[in-house]
Amino acid sequence: MTDAVVVEGLHKRYGTVPAVRGVSFTVEHGEIFALLGRNGAGKTTTMEILEGFRGRDSGRVDVLGLDPGEKATERTLRERIGLVLQDIAVEPYLTVRETIARNAGYYPAPRDIDEVIGLVDLAGLEKKKVRTLSGGQKRRLDLALGLIGNPSLLFLDEPTTGFDPNARRGAWQVIRDLRDAGTTILLTTHSMEEAQELADRLAVIADGRIVAEGTPATLGGRDSARALIRFALPPATTVADLPVAATPCQDQDGLVTVESAEPTVTLHRLTDWALRRNTVLAGLRIDRPSLEDVYLRLTDHHHDAPKHTPDRSTP
């Protein structure tokens, strides 16, 4: 099968300011793909071009086999995608059920309204007017509106903003279940935890270009990065006593950090040394660079002055 989304050599300028400069990536059918980047990096412009809300200057864009910039197939594309944007305009005096039912009428084969209400944890709130909902409840309603059309491709822009931890975990499971049922999901988020939990693959955009792409485990060389072994230095011991080749770092609280390309070997030496001395390496842990560490390194390196960021509300 062809990919659900294909972007090749995408360019877009606002006047003399380049917002997107040769962006290319693909999204496979039935995967969750996260596009990460700072505000002003070109992420919003790229997404809006894919959604059909903004034209491009050049490059190829294919969404579910259709060109989102082609007016002749605009309605067909709208019926096959779902949108959960940061700010969706809804009638505040309609109830939750009325709002979802109204949007269901826009699609040829919508999902069952009660099923969607249950999926997004709004059961029991069907008769509440939108204006009386909390921020998290409104965000769950946004998610319901994105799901009601039973989309083949779902665009999620910061989908769990305003959710409490329990609601966030529940929404993540809904998103995984949609993926497992065959829905392709294109996600943007500033939460590295969310990207780590959800994305099958992801790309980082900076200064209008894709600067890294991979899985959450491999992005930016995470899987091959040197490990950091941390522990509290035992009493009556100096860092010079430790059985490691490189000189460890020690902070003012006595916490030692040993950097190693072979953490299994290094850890074995340290624990064997501690056991022979009948001492404890308190607080022992092994870390590799987190997804957030890699993201910050990539985006800080390419960060320029903020650029024009289009409005992200539903037209």
173-186 pLDDT, tens digit per residue, is: 999 999 999 999 99
DSSP string, 74-140: HHHHHTTEEEE-SB----TTSBHHHHHHHHHTTSSSPPPHHHHHHHTT-TT-TTSBGGGS-HHHHHH
Compute the Cα dihedral for 166, 167, 170, 175 and give only its sign: negative
What is the distance between the alpha carbons of residues 34 and 186, in angstroms, rounded to a whole number? 6
Tally Cβ neighbours within 10 Å of residue 76: 12
Looking at the DSSP assignment, which residues form a beta bridge with residue 255? 232
Q: Do residues 160 and 168 touch, judged by C-beta distance below 8 A?
A: yes
What is the distance between the alpha carbons of residues 58 and 104, in angstroms, rounded to a whole number? 34
Radius of gyration of the chain (CA): 24
DSSP string, 205-249: EETTEEEEEE-TTTGGGGGGSPEEEEEEPPTT--GGGSS-SSPPE
Strands 153-157 and 184-188: parallel
Looking at the DSSP assignment, which residues form a beta bridge with residue 184? 153
The tens-digit pLDDT sequence of the chain (315 residues) is 579 999 999 999 999 999 999 999 999 999 999 999 999 999 999 999 999 999 999 999 999 999 999 999 999 999 999 999 887 778 999 999 999 999 999 999 999 999 999 999 999 999 999 999 998 899 999 999 999 999 999 999 999 988 889 889 989 999 999 999 999 999 999 999 999 999 999 999 999 999 999 999 999 888 888 888 999 999 989 999 999 987 888 888 789 999 898 899 999 999 999 999 999 999 999 988 899 999 999 998 765 444 455 555 544
